Chain A
């Protein structure tokens, strides 16, 4: 699979804040997926994107498929404590393999 750059690597959230993370790739993808993983569990699919420019929401989550097909971002609005966890982006190219970013660890700011 291709290498994905996901940023930031970690972030601290305060309840009520909007947060954003993004992924970029050196290759074109035809599918972007965003997952959240809690400790000891498998990743849970949050949002799937299939077309360049597509903007999709799932509750307080919004994700967009970049126009160049090489990037995607995920926004969380009005964050709540249960938003903590590790968020992964994943992209699928013409080889049909799913490549994952290294993850963004979201922690509550004390």
Chain B
């Protein structure tokens, strides 16, 4: 079974621009979560989508948004980029069947804002 895939792997943007990141979950997984990872703050939860609905949200400004499509693929958008948005953005998928909440991560998208 293929793992979680994220595109692109690397991205360089300028302050003020916007960016869209994509995530394809493991086949059959309906939950997709997004995280921001930085050396200073560690892994911070952004949001979770399940069956095209945002089910949970972390403490990030409204510039960070996401959506999920009917095939469970998800996109994350960051508008008006700031230097502090430079980070590794990780997507994780989960089947959410029964009591299983095991999340499987993709390789991440490394975003650099200049």
A positions within 8 Å CB-CB of B: 1, 31, 33, 35, 40-45, 48, 50, 88, 90, 92, 95-103
Contact = CB atoms under 8 A, between A and B. Distances in A.
B43 interface: yes
A35 B103 CA distance: 10
Given A1-B58, A92-B101, A97-B56, A41 B45 contact: no
Interface of B: 4, 33, 35, 42-43, 45, 48, 55-56, 58, 90, 92, 99-108
A3 to B, nearest CB: 11
B6 to A, nearest CB: 8
A88 B44 CA distance: 13
A33 B105 contact: no
21 contacts: A1-B45, A31-B99, A31-B101, A40-B107, A41-B108, A42-B90, A42-B92, A42-B105, A42-B106, A42-B107, A44-B105, A45-B103, A45-B104, A92-B101, A95-B56, A96-B55, A96-B56, A97-B48, A97-B58, A98-B101, A103-B42
